[in-house]
């Protein structure tokens, strides 16, 4: 219903403050309903003062109608962030989603329990919580936007009987039915948003708005941890409680939901610095375009720069989250209890790996049987999460490797650990035990789980006295090998120099034969070195239990 402009106010000594000017579109300026909604938004949000809610500074009227002066937010909304990740064929980090949802819940709690300056309780229900109305700034700050259809005490606009307001697909069941709303309705919408971002697919998508509303009331809701097995079970429980169709079973308020997210997220939760790092990776071009527009307001940018900036900011944000493929059917057309469908890989916008049809016709090899046996033992031991990570690798079209999988214990690590590839040597007719060599000058070198056993050269290994034997110089190796890398604690980015190789779990990454020094970057932003030795026509596998 409105159009936006970039504006600024200036003063003595070079003072300048940028704002967004929001005006009702010319073709609806005579619509009294839109005007009342516009005035409600100004009145409601002008009184708010919360770091996670976009501020309104001024309401005025010119010859061409009403306008709002609002906080200028340099950032992108969650739809745009999702699209950027899909274009890169990567998932939104779960820690990013959890931290954004936590901040949105706190912003909603502030609105739901708002008290006017006079001391009178004035609760505000947003009614339109969705990805499009949640922004993350380039500094990593979360902002809840657009209280234009918010339900508040003393609102000028009244919802007509038989109509609903909000974004279909994100409404609560009581909102769809037209029942009286409270803050728990917004928390249902947060649950929908969380489910979609961590599973990579729409939850209540339909062929039209009516179909989406029916699904909100009746369609079974799959557990996120069953659609995307990398999601911790505790996180899945929080999402499912928010998505309870009976509001009495949901969280009592936004603060309780925010605390529950913090409790189950643990180390996964991203702070603003880590969110800012992700935003810089995804939107470097748009950040430059925003700077160019701000410089144009100061008269320091030429016309060509401004036109290029506008084109970059108006670029297509697609692709968007795909519709979820639901293979479950509700009983008698209605299912009020979430049903758990069969496990399948998380939807990330990527094309699934295509199996070699010639190989699928062959009976499973002894190696595959042994690996699946290992997977089964891991499940029985209670390591369901780690077992899934291994299953990702085993199912990722990995070529048969005659080497035997071996594991080493993981030792404690200091602030700046150094990873080394584990090796194994057959000694005096022995079976060959996988070891990790620690440089004598650095007793704190991190030992990792290594899944490759490689015969050593004639001088490699250790002598009988227990001291290190001097290694022969390694001959130059030609050809390519493959690297498979899994980090059980979290998904991490893997770099070689400034070149990003991918994100874990990473299977069958082709690298030139020889020794490579990689860097692993976790959610804390630290770069950890990992030295790997790639051998021609072989697959080197690493399974890291945790990041120090």
**Do 467 and 494 belong to one domain?**
yes
- Predicted confidence at residue 366, as pLDDT, reads 52
pLDDT above 90: percentage of residues in the chain:
31
- For residue 360, being part of any structural domain is answered with no
Mark residue 33 as left, alpha or beta (left: phi above 0; alpha: psi -120 to 50; beta: remaining).
alpha
Q: What are 99-130's pLDDT values in tens digits?
A: 999 999 999 999 999 988 888 888 899 989 99
**Do 114 and 259 belong to one domain?**
yes
Which tops the pLDDT comparison, 462 or 169?
169
- Predicted confidence at residue 375, as pLDDT, reads 59
CA-nearest of 71, 151, 139 to 111 is: 151
CATH number at residue 188: 1.10.510.10
On the CB side of 167, CA atoms within 13 Å amount to 19
**Do 291 and 232 belong to one domain?**
no
pLDDT average, residue stretch 266-291: 92
User: What φ, ψ does residue 8 adopt, rounded to 5°?
Assistant: -155, 155
State the total domains in the chain. Answer: 3
CB distance 51 to 106 below 8 Å:
no
- Predicted confidence at residue 253, as pLDDT, reads 97
**Do 182 and 331 belong to one domain?**
yes
- 334 has pLDDT over 50: no
- Predicted confidence at residue 131, as pLDDT, reads 94
- For residue 477, being part of any structural domain is answered with yes
Average pLDDT of the chain is 74
- Predicted confidence at residue 4, as pLDDT, reads 86
- Predicted confidence at residue 68, as pLDDT, reads 84
DSSP element (H, E) containing 95: helix 94-112
Write down which residue in 292, 313, 334 finishes a domain: 313
**Do 299 and 189 belong to one domain?**
no
Write down which residue in 303, 337, 352 finishes a domain: 352
**Do 84 and 221 belong to one domain?**
yes
In this structure, the dihedral spanned by the alpha carbons of residues 234, 239, 240 and 243, taken in order and rounded to 10 degrees, is 160
Tell me which DSSP letter residue 533 carries: E
pLDDT average, residue stretch 387-401: 46
- For residue 55, being part of any structural domain is answered with no
Lowest average pLDDT, out of 188-192, 361-365, 401-405, goes to 401-405
**Do 221 and 294 belong to one domain?**
no
The residue count of the chain comes to 548
Q: d(Cα 528, Cα 548) in Å, to the nearest integer?
A: 9
pLDDT average, residue stretch 134-149: 89
Output the CA angle 234-135-131, nearest 5 degrees. 60
- Within a 10 A sphere around the Cβ of 134, how many other Cβ atoms? 24
**Do 217 and 295 belong to one domain?**
no
* Residues 6 or more apart in contact with residue 247 via CB below 8 angstroms: 172, 174, 182, 184, 185, 188
Write down which residue in 333, 352, 371 finishes a domain: 352
- For residue 481, being part of any structural domain is answered with yes
**Do 225 and 121 belong to one domain?**
yes
pLDDT average, residue stretch 493-498: 87
- 321 has pLDDT over 50: yes
DSSP element (H, E) containing 386: helix 384-394
Q: What are 342-367's pLDDT values in tens digits?
A: 333 333 333 333 333 333 334 444 55
CB distance 391 to 375 below 8 Å:
yes
**Do 208 and 326 belong to one domain?**
yes
The SS3 call for residue 54 is coil
- 445 has pLDDT over 70: no
- For residue 198, being part of any structural domain is answered with yes
- Within a 10 A sphere around the Cβ of 527, how many other Cβ atoms? 12
Domain containing 132 equals 77-281+322-352
**Do 166 and 256 belong to one domain?**
yes
Tell me which DSSP letter residue 177 carries: H
- For residue 17, being part of any structural domain is answered with no
- Predicted confidence at residue 153, as pLDDT, reads 45
Among 328-332, 365-369, 469-473, the range with the most confident prediction by mean pLDDT is: 365-369
- 452 has pLDDT over 80: no
Q: d(Cα 507, Cα 541) in Å, to the nearest integer?
A: 9
- For residue 31, being part of any structural domain is answered with no
- For residue 2, being part of any structural domain is answered with no
Lowest average pLDDT, out of 88-92, 325-329, 352-356, goes to 352-356
**Do 247 and 149 belong to one domain?**
yes
Which residues have a catalytic role annotated?
A: 128
């Amino acid at each position: 219903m409105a159009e936006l402009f970039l504006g600024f106010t200036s003063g003595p000594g070079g003072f300048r403050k940028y704002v967004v000017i929001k005006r009702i579109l010319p073709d609806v300026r005579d619509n009294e309903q839109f005007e009342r909604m516009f005035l409600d938004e100004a009145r409601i949000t002008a009184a708010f003062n919360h770091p996670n809610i976009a501020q309104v500074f001024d309401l005025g009227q010119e010859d061409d109608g009403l306008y709002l002066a609002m906080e200028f937010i340099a950032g992108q909304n969650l739809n745009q962030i999702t699209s950027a990740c899909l274009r890169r064929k990567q998932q939104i980090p779960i820690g990013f989603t959890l931290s954004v949802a936590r901040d949105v819940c706190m912003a909603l709690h502030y609105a739901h329990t708002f008290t006017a300056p006079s001391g009178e309780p004035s609760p505000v229900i947003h009614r339109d919580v969705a990805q499009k109305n949640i922004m993350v700034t380039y500094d990593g700050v979360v902002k809840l936007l657009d209280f234009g259809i918010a339900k508040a005490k003393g609102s000028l606009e009244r919802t007509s009987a038989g109509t609903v307001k909000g974004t279909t697909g994100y409404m609560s069941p009581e909102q769809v039915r037209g029942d009286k709303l409270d803050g728990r309705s917004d928390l249902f919408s947060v649950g929908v948003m969380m489910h979609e971002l961590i599973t990579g697919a729409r939850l209540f998508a339909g062929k039209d708005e009516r179909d989406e509303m029916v699904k909100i009331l009746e369609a079974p809701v799959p557990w996120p941890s069953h659609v995307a097995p990398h999601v911790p079970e505790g996180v899945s429980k929080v999402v499912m409680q928010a998505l309870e169709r009976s509001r009495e079973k949901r969280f009592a308020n936004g603060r309780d939901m925010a605390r529950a997210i913090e409790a189950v997220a643990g180390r996964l939760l991203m702070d603003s610095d880590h969110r800012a790092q992700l935003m810089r990776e995804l939107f470097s071009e748009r950040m430059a375009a925003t700077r160019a527009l701000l410089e144009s307001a100061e008269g320091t940018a030429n016309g060509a720069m401004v036109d290029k900036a506008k084109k970059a900011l108006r670029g297509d944000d697609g692709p968007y989250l795909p519709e979820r493929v639901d293979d479950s059917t509700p009983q008698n057309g209605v299912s009020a209890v979430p049903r758990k469908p069969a496990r399948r890989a998380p939807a990330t916008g990527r094309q699934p790996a295509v199996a070699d049809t010639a190989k699928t016709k062959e009976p499973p090899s002894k190696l595959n049987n042994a690996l699946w046996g290992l997977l089964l033992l891991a499940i029985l031991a209670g390591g369901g999460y780690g077992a899934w990570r291994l299953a990702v690798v085993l199912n990722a079209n990995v070529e048969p490797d005659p080497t035997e999988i071996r594991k080493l214990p993981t030792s404690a690590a200091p602030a700046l650990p150094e990873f080394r590839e584990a090796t194994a040597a057959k000694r005096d007719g022995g079976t060959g035990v996988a070891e990790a060599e620690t440089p004598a000058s650095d007793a704190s070198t991190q030992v990792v789980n290594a899944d490759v056993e490689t015969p050593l050269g004639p001088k490699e290994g250790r002598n009988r006295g227990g001291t290190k034997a001097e290694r022969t110089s390694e001959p130059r190796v030609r050809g390519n090998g493959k690297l498979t890398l899994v980090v059980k604690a979290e998904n991490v980015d893997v770099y070689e120099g400034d070149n990003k190789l991918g994100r874990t779990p990473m299977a069958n990454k082709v690298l030139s034969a020889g020794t490579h020094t990689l860097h692993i970057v976790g959610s804390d932003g630290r770069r950890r070195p990992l030295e790997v030795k790639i051998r021609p026509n072989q697959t080197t596998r690493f399974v890291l239990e945790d990041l120090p």
